[in-house]
Structure 1
Amino acid sequence: MTNTSEETQVYDSTTFWIAPARNFRTSARLHLQHLLFQNTLDHILEPNIQTFVAGRKELKVADLGCGNGAWLNDLYDELSSKGISAQLDGYDINPINFPASAFLPPSVTLKKLDILAKPLPADMVGAYDIVHARALTSIIVGSDLSPVLSAALALLKPGGWLQWEESRADTWVVQPPAPDVSTTACDTIAHMLKAAGQARGSGFEFLGELGRHVEEFGFSDVHSLSVNLRPRDLKAWTEDYLMVWEELYVFFPPKAEKPEAPMTREAWVDLFAKAVGETEKGVAIHQGAIVSVVGRKAI
């Protein structure tokens, strides 16, 4: 719920994702996001990693930025069905969305950890066969992938695999169901978000060549996959993004505080309401595709 009296904030990934507002609403969105990623990719483990896993009896997997553990829960089911005993560890800077351990599968453990902090705990270094990462673009500054890739490389055993999946955050698609349906408000917000990302040095253009960046960092057997979103899922993707957009009002000053601001909090709230109205007439908001890259740590 929008509170126009809240203090104006500046985006900082180290504080935004642990704020009290990242609560059950965020967790619900993460469940939806996981469903949509799986609908698009149609696998939990990428095929090359499935081959790596085949025939193994034991496995250790780390999920970076695990959120509420939805991916690990599905991975547990998949590995269990193949008779694989796995230690599945999820790490996230904000534990508020973790399910109670009593309700998790026995081999799934979720732990609070800033995966970009150095040094990493010694018992984690070189401990994992697979490291999974998803939707981490919001913590990447200046298109510098080295913090994420360094963490993944450090966690992996020699010969272990990284699986990294992202929406094409460099692209905003505002898609009307018919030419006569207005998209003015949604187009305005999409333009603002792209400009804001570029202003903080993160236009996310690296996503178009994520595989090359992973390979140049020292991973081998790199495979890239780009999968277009299913039209039947576009309404759900739209609602997922609306839940994000709804929270952005805190980055705009109230009119009483800065009446000369190019976008005040009240103006944003009005713009967002108009965008919601457009989506209720069928306008879809999405990012076109999901890119998935896997790579192997040198043996």
Structure 2
Amino acid sequence: MAHTDDYVLGRSLSDSVRLDAQHLLWKLHTGHTLHPQIPIADGMKVAEIGTGTGIWIFDLAKDLPRTAQLHGFDISQDQFPSRALWPPNVSLRVLNSLVDPPPSLAGRYDVVHVRMWASNIKDRDFGPLISHVLRLLKPGGYVQWEEADLVHQVVEGARAQQFGEKVPVLFGKVGLDYRWASDIHHRLQKARCTVLRFKRGRFQSFLAQKCTETYLLALAEIFRGIRKSCTDDLLPLLSECEADLQELSALHSNKGVVYNWSPIEVLARKGE
């Protein structure tokens, strides 16, 4: 189907594999799919916004009662698996999560899962996303949010550090401001949620390469997206970043290159 969204990442086969690899990265980091503080109950309703390939929803479905209902939403259906592969209690559908949800979905869910929206928010305006999440939730429902903090990075190796100095300059010129990720918990508190957990950490050493691999793939997607609408004055910087990225991608597995973002975990509960 045609897209009218401004998604800067790709939706090709390799992009879908990256999303699935990032799910593995998160699960190995946190040790769970659904946060253990969220109670599991018969008939519970779970939503994920920006579901992509649906990998989180599919992984969770096997751990919940068969009576649970799991709904994945995304602005594009291009990465959805074939309908024949969906578990009976899972559905995926197209929905724009930067506008208010339809009344039929308001106050319907016990849990809303959000993961890695950093590149979908421009100019730090994530108020509409917070509003959408809270409108989906029942009173007392839970928000489980995992985000990539691209400001507080873990970078090792001289070439990686040089690259890491150029990329924020490019992002700033195209309106990609990742500083908002560190403020999610405060915004949820202002929206009268109780924040049960906020943690910004770093990946254990055995996960550093997996983060580097998926991050470099994501950056290649972002650069391709930027090139589609890049102005002439930005082309030299973009081309330089692309060349550096290609070099890092060739080095990452055996030259001590680490290029990681910091994982942020937020668990909050909507007011009764």
* Coarse TM-score class (shorter-chain normalised): 0.7 to 0.9
3-state secondary structure, aligned to 1:16: coil
Q: Map 1:160-199 onto structure 2 (within 5 A).
A: 160-176=141-157, 183-184=158-159, 186-199=160-173
| Contact 1:63 1:72 (8 Å CA) reproduced | yes
- Give, in angstroms, the shift of residue 86 of structure 1: 0.7
Measure, in 1, the Cα distance between the counterparts of 2:161 and 2:13: 28
The AA in structure 2 aligned to 1:22 is: R
Measure, in 2, the Cα distance between the counterparts of 1:71 and 1:57: 19
CA deviation vs aligned residue, 1:140-189 (integer Å, no higher than 9, x gap): 2222331111001110111111111112222232213xxxxxx32x3333
3-state secondary structure, aligned to 1:189: helix
Do the aligned partners of residues 121 and 208 (structure 1) sit closer, same or farther apart at CA in structure 2, a change above 3 Å counting?
Answer: closer
Q: Map 1:102-141 onto structure 2 (within 5 A).
A: 102-118=84-100, 120-141=101-122
Structure 2 counterpart of 1:23: 12
Give aligned-pair identity as a percent: 28
- Give, in angstroms, the shift of residue 43 of structure 1: 1.2
Considering only CA atoms, is the larger Rg found in Structure 1 or Structure 2? 1
Structure 2 counterpart of 1:242: 216
Structure 1 counterpart of 2:263: 290
The AA in structure 2 aligned to 1:71 is: W
3-state secondary structure, aligned to 1:271: helix
Provide the aligned C-alpha RMSD in A. 2.6
- Give, in angstroms, the shift of residue 270 of structure 1: 2.8
Structure 2 counterpart of 1:273: 246
CA deviation vs aligned residue, 1:67-125 (integer Å, no higher than 9, x gap): 10111111111114xxx62110000112111011211211111111111124x222111
Measure, in 1, the Cα distance between the counterparts of 2:238 and 2:106: 46
- Give, in angstroms, the shift of residue 268 of structure 1: 4.3
**Displacement over 6 Å in runs of 4+:** none
Measure, in 2, the Cα distance between the counterparts of 1:31 and 1:260: 32
Structure 1 counterpart of 2:226: 251
3-state secondary structure, aligned to 2:200: strand
Structure 2: runs of 5+ lacking an equivalent: none
Structure 2 counterpart of 1:143: 124
The AA in structure 2 aligned to 1:292 is: E
**Which among 55, 76, 79 is matched to residue 94 of structure 1?**
76
Count of matched residue positions in the alignment of Structure 1 and Structure 2:
266
Q: Give the TM-score normalised by the residue count of structure 2.
A: 0.87
Measure, in 2, the Cα distance between the counterparts of 1:259 and 1:229: 36
The AA in structure 1 aligned to 2:45 is: K
| Contact 1:161 1:296 (8 Å CA) reproduced | yes
Q: Give the TM-score normalised by the residue count of structure 1.
A: 0.80
Measure, in 1, the Cα distance between the counterparts of 2:260 and 2:106: 37
- Give, in angstroms, the shift of residue 272 of structure 1: 2.4
3-state secondary structure, aligned to 2:268: strand
3-state secondary structure, aligned to 1:68: coil
| Contact 1:159 1:298 (8 Å CA) reproduced | yes
Measure, in 1, the Cα distance between the counterparts of 2:68 and 2:55: 16
Measure, in 2, the Cα distance between the counterparts of 1:259 and 1:146: 31
Do the aligned partners of residues 259 and 113 (structure 1) sit closer, same or farther apart at CA in structure 2, a change above 3 Å counting?
Answer: closer
- Give, in angstroms, the shift of residue 135 of structure 1: 0.4
Structure 2 counterpart of 1:70: 55
Measure, in 2, the Cα distance between the counterparts of 1:139 and 1:114: 12
Measure, in 1, the Cα distance between the counterparts of 2:233 and 2:113: 45
Do the aligned partners of residues 37 and 187 (structure 1) sit closer, same or farther apart at CA in structure 2, a change above 3 Å counting?
Answer: same
Do the aligned partners of residues 163 and 271 (structure 1) sit closer, same or farther apart at CA in structure 2, a change above 3 Å counting?
Answer: same
3-state secondary structure, aligned to 1:234: helix
